């Protein structure tokens, strides 16, 4: 027969377990939402899905890059070579650089008038599975390092994940996933309409460098 003290102790433990499992189901529901296929171009498949209950969408680009793994890694995750990223990238300052491990950097995106330029501080962690060779580069915002400016909107809600999986000695399966809230006065519908350009442009940049014949000129 349980003593009263045992009963009192079990109640908060039971509540803790219930709360824990509810959180697990919520997280699983968010990340199990199916990706919606949007388009395919130059061998790059583009998908979107909702970010939990937010009105903004996540993006995903999937492609096979026909180049050695080391060549792909030289481009992806190397912020010292960014001319292929995006033509709207106006400024980038490397704050910390540990090759193949950890990168911190600050960047500025120029946007057309009447919108305001955006800036972002990034903390990128790089891990490589010694068994499979799969490399993951996971980026999140870096706070309280670079002061905010009144003429720029600081992006504070952001994440991005690269998954680089070597398939053969000359082919790498690439997945780029991410989410960004541009903040300011950008309408959600406009953001959702153009967000698919992000993975397409970036992966096209890699293909254009490593397998230029795969990219159409039109």
- Domain co-membership, 40 together with 69: yes
141-176 pLDDT per residue, tens: 999 999 999 999 999 999 999 999 999 889 999 999
Q: Is pLDDT above 90 for 122?
A: yes
- Domain co-membership, 118 together with 18: no
Look at the chain and report how many structural domains it folds into.
Answer: 2
Which CATH number belongs to the domain containing residue 184 in this structure? 3.30.530.20
- Domain co-membership, 10 together with 103: no
- Domain co-membership, 112 together with 189: yes
174-202 pLDDT per residue, tens: 999 999 888 877 767 667 767 888 899 89
DSSP string, 40-95: EETTEEEEEEE-TT-SSEEEEEEEEE-S-HHHHHHHTT-TT--TTT-TTEEEEEEE
Q: Is pLDDT above 80 for 1?
A: no
- Domain co-membership, 167 together with 62: yes
Which has more confidence, 63 or 80? Answer: 63
What gap in Å lies between CA 152 and CA 149, rounded to an integer?
6
Write out the residue range of the structural domain in which residue 127 sits: 33-214
- Domain co-membership, 75 together with 157: yes
What mean pLDDT, rounded, does the chain reach? 82
- Domain co-membership, 79 together with 174: yes
- Residue 62 bridge partners (DSSP): 45, 175
19-34 pLDDT per residue, tens: 444 444 444 444 457 9
Q: What Rg do the C-alpha atoms of the chain give, in angstroms?
A: 21
Q: What is the pTM for the complete model shown?
A: 0.79
């Amino acid at each position: 027969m349980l003593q009263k003290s045992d009963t009192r102790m079990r109640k908060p433990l039971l509540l803790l377990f219930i709360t824990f499992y509810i959180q697990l189901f919520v997280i699983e529901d968010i990340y199990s939402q199916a990706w919606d296929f949007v388009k395919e171009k130059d061998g790059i498949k583009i998908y979107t899905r909702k970010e939990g209950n937010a009105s903004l969408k996540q993006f995903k680009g999937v492609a096979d890059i026909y180049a050695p793994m080391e060549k792909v890694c030289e481009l992806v995750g190397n912020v010292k070579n960014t001319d292929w990223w995006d033509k709207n990238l106006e400024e980038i300052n490397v704050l910390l650089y540990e090759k193949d491990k950890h990168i911190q950097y600050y960047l500025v995106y120029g946007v057309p008038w009447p919108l305001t330029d955006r800036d972002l501080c990034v903390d990128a962690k790089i891990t490589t599975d010694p068994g499979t060779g799969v490399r993951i580069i996971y980026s999140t915002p870096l706070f309280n390092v670079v002061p905010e400016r009144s003429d720029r909107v600081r992006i504070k809600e952001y994440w991005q994940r690269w998954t680089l999986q070597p398939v053969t000695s000359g082919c790498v399966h690439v997945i780029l996933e991410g989410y960004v809230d541009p903040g300011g006065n950008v309408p959600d519908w406009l953001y959702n309409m153009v967000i698919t350009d992000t993975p397409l442009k970036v992966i096209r940049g890699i293909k254009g460098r490593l397998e230029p014949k795969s990219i159409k000129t039109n």
